[in-house]
Structure 1
Amino acid sequence: MSTSTAAAAAAAAPPDPTPEELKAAREKEQAEQATLPYKWTQALEEVDIIVALPAGTRGRDLIVDIKLTGLKVGLKGKEPLFEGTLYKPIRLDDSTWSVSDSTLEIHLDKSNKKEWWPHVLTHHPKIDVSKIQPENSKLSDLDGETRGMVEKMMYDQRQKEMGLPTSDEQKKMDMLKKFQVQHPEMDFSKAKINM
């Protein structure tokens, strides 16, 4: 990518939000999440949901239906507290629920353990997953394939920030140069590489 192309891409990018806009977006997201009938947290591997129940509620008083792509929670004989389609499929065998101290705890084991969920149920408000700060981990904690993928993503991000080609773009440019050397009889003056 040439410097003029990088400058044009930077000029076309939307401006960074102001601190006031960021604060307003964070407050809106918090207000939307506060309206949900549950609280939830997540790690890359799992989603944990906490539901406050009427005092004295026991497991046998509940309907908790966990499906591959759906979830329904309610008190027997009443309208469900919530139900809907999960953002992504889960691993049923490793997903559980329990009740203690008038609190229902639901543990959902994600099928895709490399993705943040913007919401639990698809019809509920989303969170901005780009703002998630994962717990500190070291690259050495990751398996080889995941570590390689993360290192490549970090390298490509640094390259983009400096207006330089990503690893994939660099490979394409190197292949073109190699081809040019092997075929000096060809005119490459109008060659373009799709990035």
Structure 2
Amino acid sequence: MTHFDERSGVIPCKTEWGFWWQTMEEVFIEVASNQILNAKEVKCNIKPRAISLSIQGATVFQGDLYEPVHADDAVWTLEDKKMVRICLSKVHSTAAHCWPSLLKDQYRADPVTFDEMQKKLTLQRFQFENPGMDFSNAAMTGNYQNGGPEMPS
């Protein structure tokens, strides 16, 4: 069975070290290296409310996560000896909990990217609520806030 994200793609937030993206349930981080790495050169520390990553002794990022994660369910991998991938399981796994940034004060998505992230999570919620229907190619219009259309004042 193909997952929603495999059919609909991801909405990445680019950073100086790579990028991050999210689904309703998870946050993914990818950090590319120009050098060949061994797993022992990667130090990834994941706590429910904080994360740090260093490669070859240099800190890539560290800080408080935007929202808490299930640290025991988090996993990181080194792929092709050049790519560190981290998967974090969100504590609050609903479309209303779309992270505007990876860390509390760092790696914020620009307004257009964040709007696209919210639309994608809303479509994912519709897919979850209506498992027999395919929303992967659906298009949403309007500005989104907290997993639903923004209501006029």
Distance 1:38 1:89 in 2: 22
Aligned partner of 1:123: which letter? D
Q: Name stretches of at least 5 consecutive residues in structure 1 with no aligned partner.
A: 1-29, 142-152, 164-195
In structure 2, the partner of 1:140 is 130
Name 1:50's counterpart in structure 2: 30
Aligned-residue offset at 1:35: 4.1
Structure 2: gaps spanning 5 or more residues: 1-11, 132-146
Matches within 5 A, 1:1-80: 33-76=13-56, 78-80=57-59
Aligned counterparts, 1:1-195, within 5 A: 33-76=13-56, 78-101=57-80, 102-114=82-94, 115-127=97-109, 128=111, 129-132=114-117, 133-134=119-120, 135=123, 137-138=126-127, 139-141=129-131
User: What amino acid is aligned across from residue 60 of structure 1 in structure 2?
Assistant: K
**Residue 45 of structure 2 aligns to which amino acid in structure 1?**
D
Q: Secondary structure at the match of 2:130?
A: helix
Deviation at 1:38, TM superposition (A): 2.5
What do the CA deviations read for 1:37-56 (whole angstroms, capped 9, x no partner)? 23111001100000012322
Q: 1:83 to 1:51 in 2, by over 3 A?
A: same
| RMSD value, Cα | 2.8
- Matched-pair contact (CA < 8 Å) for 2:15–2:107: no
Which has the bigger relative contact order, CA under 8 A and spacing at least 6?
A: 2
Higher strand share: 2
Query: Partners in 2 of 1:88 and 1:112 — Cα distance?
Result: 8
SS in 2 for 1:113: coil
Q: Which has the larger radius of gyration?
A: 1
One-letter amino acid of the counterpart of residue 79, structure 2: S
